[in-house]
Structure 1
Amino acid sequence: MILPNECLYDIFNKLRTDRKSLFSCLLVNRLWCRIIIPILWSEPGVHFKDKRLVKICLSALNTEEQALLIPFNLILPKNLKPLFEYASNITSVNYYYLNKGIENYYNETYGNRISAIENSLALMFLRSSKNLKHLYFIGNIYNETLFVEKLCKNTSIVSLSFSDCYLKDEALVNIFNKSITLTSLDLTDTPLCSERANVLAKTLCESNTTLTSLSLFNNQLHAEGGKVLAKALCKNTILTSLNLGWNELGNVID
């Protein structure tokens, strides 16, 4: 008796946390391998720290993404032809772990070169990961226009997190306006002066049709900006979760 592919997928999917068993199973035959690879690569998580995985991701960069790294004199993998388009199966990217993997691969600590690689890989994930749902980015984005363009073309991402990242007003507005599938946005450690709070408030009032969760944790937000946001939130009927921790809002009620 031969089990249908759907049954095999369900069985292997139950083993998704038992990576050792999955690795053993993928060696059985080509069919099992084709079913298991997407499961193994769907949520790399802590395994992004493995420099072998980073090497495979770097080999998936296209000409445009590689060109962004030219000023940094980085050596990229050559003549590496993976059997599968591994990156296309990724559903979640955590840059804390990916950063460690890049550092391990190039044997250097965090700096402009590592940050540049992170940026190029972000573009690659947005382009090639057809089922990408969660992207957790740390640090500044070098080419915001290109990043937002790729982000808005991605129709699967639902959760986006920027930590310690200064986004220009235009990029922030475009993320709200054009990311039609986005339901959760985390802007932790992203400074918001009263002027930028105005931009965000206006967007929340006029453009937000999908976002249900927003975190503005530790954004240097003061009472004036808090009042503007408070008024906007009174008109917003979509948002159900808001984190304003570690700000200096004082009493925002008139």
Structure 2
Amino acid sequence: MVPKLNYDCFQNVFEHLDQDTLFNCILVNRSWFKILIPYLWENPFSIVHRDGAANSKKLLKTIISMFPFDKWTEEKLNSCKYYKVTYHKYRKSIRDYLDYMEIFKSAEFHGFIDKCSRVPPWKYKNLKKIYDENERTWISKYDESSISSTLTNHIFNIIFRNCTKIRQFSLFNISNMTVQNNSFKNLSNLCYLEVGKPYYLGNIFRDCKKIKKIVIHFHGYNTRDRWLLLINFLKDQKELKAIHFSNYTSWNIRDNRYYNQLKPISEELLIQIHSIEELGMNGFILPCKQLNTLSNVKHLEITLWKWKPETVAAFDNGLCPLLEVLKFQGDLPPLDVLAKFIGKTKGHLQCFYIKNPNQNHYNHTQLLLKSIAKSCPKLNSLSTIINITKDLSFLKTLLISCNELKNFTLMSIDFMSQSLLQEQLRVMDENWGVVHEKCQYKRSKNINSIRFNKYQIKLKNNLFDH
């Protein structure tokens, strides 16, 4: 007879199963049920991503039925003609289930509410008549807004009052009524926080002292009051290791207007976060010569669509001697400046990544390759620009120097066939395999598409990974 597996063995197995399989497994016996419930309730609203509309809707209704609605809310929901709350017999155990929730994502939550409040089309009978100004006619529509609003506000209140183990929180929208009705002290265990409005930091998360990573999305003009609010919040974050800034307005405007609307990060803020290890900037620029204050940064991500002269100067004067990861999601600084910056990383750089390269940055590709070869002996992941027909000799030097590389990506506007590049690489090392693809990025209606060739190169035993 097979001996009974212990708890740790079951955990190791269940960690590799998908949600559908886990839901079937909880029906096996009580022991499996107790082990699996924490996995299923760790992030319950992620159920909105599941395939199969019918099964998904049933499960959403099941989750709703487990929330302890007060009498007023239940009556309001049941007053809607095509929406009823039916509780299951295990309703009393709701607080135990909520205790397992560790991840809350605003987008998933609102998708969950949307699915729960949606009424099937075949039930549209006594519809609400609305006058359509564009069509100049009356149309019939079922009013689902009251269901959605009631569910949203009440479930928000339940979560904030009962879920004490939430460690990841992503919040983009919340009503003022919910903010006023809750203290949010139960969120004191947060390690990761993402917010869509900076004022949430003062009104909601003042009791959170254990945050390790924070992502802040700014919308529109960033006033000094917002920076001060953020600075004061960060003063209490003794365990903070990573911070990302994102300017949504700048992300959507990629022409000259965007160029002029880039906002500098406050110098006071940079001084406040001098000890962080990971920094991400999307649509922001650095104050001149202020990158030197970030001597502890190990992970740096920059997303810009225009590099102003003062931004290039700040980057040129920057010094990140402990840097291990360097990523560019948009435009690049001049390659000679980038080569100089990489040369000052003291040999710690392990990952260099670029995306959406601009064809205007092909003047100093050899300088960049030389700098990588000389300064990055520990590099294991590389994505870079290259003039594929002129720089292959420098590539050979790079592969010899960076002998820990297992895969890398070369992007070039000039072309070399996959077979020819494979042959050239085989001379250097017969273990490399090449996959070629043509890429195109549309930057704006007023700017031509950027076309280039991407060569993904991996060791043959890793060629089909991922």
Verify the 8 A CA contact 1:159 1:185 in the aligned structure 2.
yes
Give the TM-score normalised by the residue count of structure 2.
0.39
1:237 maps to amino acid:
S
Shift of 1:19: 1.7
When residues 245 and 203 of structure 1 are mapped into structure 2, their CA distance, relative to the original with a 3 A threshold, is same
Q: How does 1:111-126 map to 2 (within 5 A)?
A: 117=153, 120=156, 124=160
Query: 1:188 aligns to what SS in structure 2?
Result: strand
When residues 52 and 35 of structure 1 are mapped into structure 2, their CA distance, relative to the original with a 3 A threshold, is same
Verify the 8 A CA contact 1:88 1:129 in the aligned structure 2.
yes
Match of 1:151 among 203, 208, 221: 208
When residues 28 and 87 of structure 1 are mapped into structure 2, their CA distance, relative to the original with a 3 A threshold, is same
Q: Structure 1: how far apart are the matches of 2:238 and 2:92? A: 34
Verify the 8 A CA contact 1:58 1:121 in the aligned structure 2.
no
Q: Structure 2: how far apart are the matches of 1:53 and 1:247? A: 46
When residues 188 and 241 of structure 1 are mapped into structure 2, their CA distance, relative to the original with a 3 A threshold, is same
Verify the 8 A CA contact 2:217 2:247 in the aligned structure 1.
yes
**Paired position in structure 1 for 2:10:** 8
When residues 89 and 144 of structure 1 are mapped into structure 2, their CA distance, relative to the original with a 3 A threshold, is same
Shift of 1:38: 0.9
When residues 5 and 123 of structure 1 are mapped into structure 2, their CA distance, relative to the original with a 3 A threshold, is closer
Match of 1:197 among 262, 266, 284: 266
Query: 1:151 aligns to what SS in structure 2?
Result: coil
Aligned length in residues: 221
Deviations 1:71-114 (A, max 9, x none): xxx979898544453343334333222221123334557xxx69
**Paired position in structure 1 for 2:282:** 217
Query: 1:216 aligns to what SS in structure 2?
Result: strand
Query: 2:64 aligns to what SS in structure 1?
Result: helix
Q: Structure 1: how far apart are the matches of 2:309 and 2:115? A: 47
Q: Structure 2: how far apart are the matches of 1:145 and 1:41? A: 29
Shift of 1:162: 3.2
Q: Structure 2: how far apart are the matches of 1:144 and 1:250? A: 31
Q: How does 1:211-250 map to 2 (within 5 A)?
A: 211-218=276-283, 221=284, 226-228=286-288, 230-231=289-290, 233-246=291-304, 249-250=307-308
Q: Structure 2: how far apart are the matches of 1:189 and 1:118? A: 31
Q: Structure 1: how far apart are the matches of 2:159 and 2:272? A: 25
**Paired position in structure 2 for 1:140:** 197
**Paired position in structure 2 for 1:160:** 214
When residues 30 and 94 of structure 1 are mapped into structure 2, their CA distance, relative to the original with a 3 A threshold, is same
When residues 174 and 129 of structure 1 are mapped into structure 2, their CA distance, relative to the original with a 3 A threshold, is farther
When residues 149 and 11 of structure 1 are mapped into structure 2, their CA distance, relative to the original with a 3 A threshold, is same
**Paired position in structure 2 for 1:128:** 163
Gaps of 5+ in 2: 50-55, 79-84, 119-143, 173-195, 250-261, 315-466
Give the TM-score normalised by the residue count of structure 1.
0.64
Shift of 1:202: 2.6
Verify the 8 A CA contact 2:41 2:97 in the aligned structure 1.
yes
**Paired position in structure 1 for 2:444:** none
1:38 maps to amino acid:
P
Root-mean-square deviation over aligned CA pairs = 4.3
**Paired position in structure 1 for 2:227:** 169
Q: Is 1:33 aligned to residue 33 of structure 2?
A: yes
Q: Structure 1: how far apart are the matches of 2:158 and 2:229? A: 16
The percent identity for this pair of structures is: 16
Q: Structure 2: how far apart are the matches of 1:174 and 1:6? A: 43
Q: Structure 2: how far apart are the matches of 1:214 and 1:147? A: 24
Verify the 8 A CA contact 1:47 1:53 in the aligned structure 2.
no
Verify the 8 A CA contact 1:59 1:78 in the aligned structure 2.
no
Q: Is 1:55 aligned to residue 74 of structure 2?
A: no
Shift of 1:234: 0.6
Shift of 1:60: 9.4
Q: Is 1:85 aligned to residue 96 of structure 2?
A: yes
Q: Structure 1: how far apart are the matches of 2:263 and 2:99? A: 38
Verify the 8 A CA contact 1:60 1:87 in the aligned structure 2.
no
Deviations 1:164-198 (A, max 9, x none): 5678334412442223343332332268855x623
Q: Structure 2: how far apart are the matches of 1:47 and 1:21? A: 13
When residues 119 and 38 of structure 1 are mapped into structure 2, their CA distance, relative to the original with a 3 A threshold, is closer
